[in-house]
A = this chain, B = another copy of it.
Amino acid sequence: MANNIPSLDRLIDEFRKMPSIGSKSAERLAYYILGLEDTEIQSLTSAISDAHSNIHQCSVCRNLTETDVCPICQSDKRDRSTICVVEDARDVAAIERTHEYKGLYHVLHGVISPMNGIGPDELTIKELLARLSDNTVSEVIMATNPTVEGEATAMYISRLLKPFEINVTRLAYGIPVGADLEYADEVTLSRALEGRRTI
């Protein structure tokens, strides 16, 4: 970067490692840091270290949490007969924001992806099967992403769940609310037709 300021270059490099932060943004962030007050720096660095050291996986559903068992798994207001299987913790946050789902979750922490060397054993599938052994669960909703890998993972897990005689469902495909039919891709549109409902 030719700033002639080693600790500035080091900071820019750290920011550049972050997702979707390019050289220009990294530089802008670094100069922002230089302009902060001492107390703001303290608050930023402690937020980073605290989040990193306090947050770990829930021992039941593998969602991120600060407690041993996450608030969702602990809550007696949640429906323990339904488990929604998602790829990562961000998907839990997205579904929670709908305020529609009252069941439990299971976070896989990825999808099966032979291209990236990720097989079923790298995911939390064993932990999911263990949760089904006491027969309290009657439905498992496969909410992996509608990508090739998300689909394959949903198929793989649903086949594993056959012996449990549990109702395995998949999120509905269709046109996104507020979208324009004209711009919907053919696959989405044919899925929306297939899944049409009486009104």
Q: Which residues of A contact B (CB under 8 A)?
A: 1-8, 10-11, 13-14, 18-21, 25, 27-34, 36, 38, 41, 43-45, 47-52, 54-55, 64-66, 70-72, 88-90, 93, 96-97
| Smallest Cβ-Cβ distance to A88: which chain B residue | B31
Contact A34 B51 (CB under 8 A): yes
Q: In the assembly, how many copies of this chain are there?
A: 2
Contact A14 B34 (CB under 8 A): no
Contact A49 B45 (CB under 8 A): yes
A48 interface neighbour in B11, B90, B97, Cβ under 8 Å: B11
* Chain A interface SS verdict (over half): helix
Contact A43 B14 (CB under 8 A): yes
Chain B residues lying within 8 Å of A6, measured Cβ to Cβ, are 66
Contact B25 A20 (CB under 8 A): yes
Contact A19 B29 (CB under 8 A): yes
A4 interface neighbour in B32, B36, B43, B71, Cβ under 8 Å: B71
Chain B residues lying within 8 Å of A71, measured Cβ to Cβ, are 4
Cα separation A11 to B43 with both chains bound (whole Å): 9
Contact sample, A vs B, 26 pairs, CB 8 Å cutoff:
A3-B64, A3-B93, A3-B96, A4-B71, A4-B96, A5-B64, A5-B65, A6-B66, A7-B47, A7-B51, A7-B54, A7-B55, A7-B66, A8-B64, A11-B47, A11-B48, A11-B51, A14-B43, A14-B44, A18-B32, A19-B29, A20-B25, A31-B89, A33-B52, A34-B51, A38-B52
A7, A36, A38, A89: residue with the most chain B Cβ atoms closer than 10 Å: A7
A41 interface neighbour in B7, B18, B41, B52, Cβ under 8 Å: B52
Chain B residues lying within 8 Å of A44, measured Cβ to Cβ, are 14, 48
Instruction: Give me 9 other A-B pairs in contact (C-beta within 8 A), A8-B51, A41-B52 excluded.
Output: A2-B96, A4-B65, A5-B65, A11-B47, A20-B25, A20-B28, A31-B88, A33-B51, A45-B48
